[in-house]
Amino acid sequence: MSQSAALMMSQKQIAARVLVQEHLAHEHLQAMSSGQDVGAQKQRIKCLLKQQDATLVAHYYTDALVQELAEETGGCVSDSLEMARFGNHSLSSTLIVAGVHFMGETAKILSPTKRVLVPTLEATCSLDIGCPAEEFTAFCDAHPDHTVVVYANTSAAVKARADWVVTSGIAVKLMEHLASEGKPIIWGPDQHLGRYIAKQTGTEMLLWQGSCIVHDEFKVIGVQQLKQVYPNAAVLVHPESSYAMVEIADFVGSTTQLIKAAQEMPNKEFIVATDRGIFYKMQQAAPDKMLMEAPTAGNSATCRSCAHCPWMAMNDLDKIEQVLLFGTNEIVIDAGLQERALKPLQRLMDFAATN
Ligand code: 13P
Ligand code: SF4
């Protein structure tokens, strides 16, 4: 990547951080002002879901109340791949996608005849922000012989420029498959996940320099200090974390894979380097295990989101009730763009169905 492109990328990351700080200040006010009776509110939402023929699909990083509601109403709580799969197979005419914007878009691209509503249109992702379609297209156009593989955490327009879409749950398998074709590869936008996959598969890839502001903040030094107190704890790391974190991990994997690892590994204690929203399902899956957040503090730490995605945190019961009542925040995608973005996404779904 050229120096000016790299500079632009870091400016985008700074802009993403400013957005996070603004949101964190706002979130505090929201929490203060919400005085609802949760039980009664959940009952109202359950009735609205039925009335509207709607299903709630939630990511592991959303608030535990949102995840619980999805479970209680026959919806789904999962990683981004399973959210896409579940939404696609759902018989409901409306999907309420509690996660971030690209997850709503993915649902709409796969199921264009369904109505897709999101609790808030403002819930974005630093990877999506850091990979504007025009610049990414120019980057790809400069390397026309490369196969373009993009992470699901991207806009519909970026997906439309790709040959393949992947999620962290299937990235290594898919990249092994692509490596066997012997074509050079462009990977975007998450540089850390890209570096991890490249090392795992021995594939050389041109990496877009995006990163996740949440996973970027986990600190090796903090984990090492915690390990002195809990020497038998296993370290579970999502591959959006820095490669230094990956190197000290006992297990690296997507959100679903991390939950499975906590359940299946013999350790009684776990240090978990991913968004803390995952603890709701992880503790359910491994009730007798002790789960700890991997530290985001420590030497030279600049923790702002502190192991919790500020955009995932925007999903709450108030907003879900509002969109069900008023049909607001619908995801709309231009038909041509939907068709172009569907191709690489459908490749992912077909590959996932047979691997
Ligand atoms: P998963 O695909 O593992 O759900 O991750 C999505 C994400 O945004 C992680 O930060
Ligand atoms: Fe994006 Fe990171 Fe939030 Fe996941 S945790 S949605 S990658 S900002």
**69 shares its domain with 99:** yes
Using alpha carbons only, what angle is made at residue 41 by residues 36 and 43, rounded to the nearest 5 degrees?
160
In a domain, 299, yes or no: no
Domain assignment present for 23: yes
With 0-12 / 13-18 / 19 or more C-beta atoms within 10 angstroms meaning exposed / middle / buried, residue 107 is buried
Same domain flag for 350 and 209: yes
Return the closest-CA partner of residue 320 out of 22, 44, 109.
Answer: 44
Examine the pLDDT at 67 and tell me if it is beyond 60. yes
Q: What is the model's pLDDT at position 182?
A: 86
Q: Are residues 20 and 118 in the same domain?
A: yes
16 pLDDT above the threshold of 70:
no
62 lines ligand 1 (CB under 6 A): no
Residue at 306 is within a domain? no
Instruction: Give the model's pLDDT for residue 18.
Output: 55
Residue 305 scores a pLDDT above 60: no
Rounded to an integer, the average pLDDT of 172-200 is 93
β-bridge mates for residue 165, sequence order: 150
Check pLDDT > 50 for residue 6: no
Q: Does residue 131 line the site of ligand 2, with CB under 6 A?
A: no
87 plus 171 within the same structural domain: no
My answer on whether 207 and 349 are in the same domain is: yes
> For atom 5 of ligand 2, which residue has the closest CA?
309
Per-residue 3-state assignment (H helix, E strand, C coil) for 21-33: HHHHHHHHHHHHH
On whether both 107 and 21 belong to a single domain, the answer is yes
- Pair 133, 209 in one domain: yes
φ, ψ for residue 115, nearest 5 deg: -85, 125
Q: Are 294 and 222 in contact (CB under 8 A)?
A: yes
DSSP tag of 253: -
Asked whether residue 300 is domain-assigned, the answer is: no
| pLDDT for residue 58 is more than 70 | yes
**Rounded Cα–Cα distance for residues 144 and 284 (Å):** 47
Q: Please report whether residue 4 resides in a domain.
A: no
Task: Decide if 266 is inside a domain.
Answer: yes
Is residue 298, in this structure, part of any structural domain at all?
no
Statement: residue 22 has pLDDT above 70: no
Cα separations in angstroms, 95 against 71, 146, 281: 14, 35, 21
Above 50 in pLDDT, residue 1?
no
Contacts of 355 by beta carbon, 8 Å cutoff, 6+ apart: 170, 173, 174, 177
Average pLDDT over residues 8-17: 52
Query: For 103-118, how does the pLDDT look when each residue is reduced to its tens digit (9 = 90+)?
Result: 999 999 999 999 999 9
Mean pLDDT of 128-153: 96
Task: Flag whether pLDDT at 12 surpasses 70.
Answer: no
Q: Whose CA is nearest to atom 7 of ligand 2?
A: 212
Domain range enclosing 228: 215-293
Q: Using the mean position of ligand 2's atoms as its centre, give its distance from the Cα of residue 101 in Å.
A: 11
The domain that holds 239 is classified in CATH as 3.40.50.10800
Share of the chain above pLDDT 70, in %: 87
- Distance of alpha carbon 51 from alpha carbon 282, whole angstroms: 32
- Please check whether residue 8 lies inside any domain of the structure: no
Contact partners, residue 111, CB within 8 Å, separation at least 6: 87, 88, 90, 95
- Residue 117 sits in the same domain as residue 177: no
Please choose from 124, 127, 255 the residue to mutate so as to test ligand 1's pocket, defined by most ligand atoms within 8 A of CB. 255
Tell me the per-residue pLDDT of 192-217, one tens digit each, with 9 for 90 and over: 999 999 999 999 899 999 999 999 99
Between the ranges 2-16, 51-65, 163-177, 301-315, where is the mean pLDDT highest? 51-65
Give the per-residue pLDDT at 307.
80
Residue pair 216/16 in contact by the 8 Å Cβ criterion: no
202 and 62 part of one domain: no
- On the question of pLDDT at 32 being above 70, the answer is no
d(CA 152, CA 240): 13
The pLDDT-based confidence of 301 (bands split at 50, 70, 90) is low
Q: Could you tell me the two tokens for 355?
A: 């691997």
How many separate domains does the chain show?
3
Query: 347 and 201, same structural domain?
Result: yes
Residue 208 and residue 219 in one domain: no
Q: Are residues 121 and 19 in the same domain?
A: yes
Residue-level pLDDT at 298? 53
H/E element, 86 = helix 80-89
Residue 3: pLDDT band with limits 50, 70, 90: very low
The better pLDDT of the pair 173, 32 is held by 173
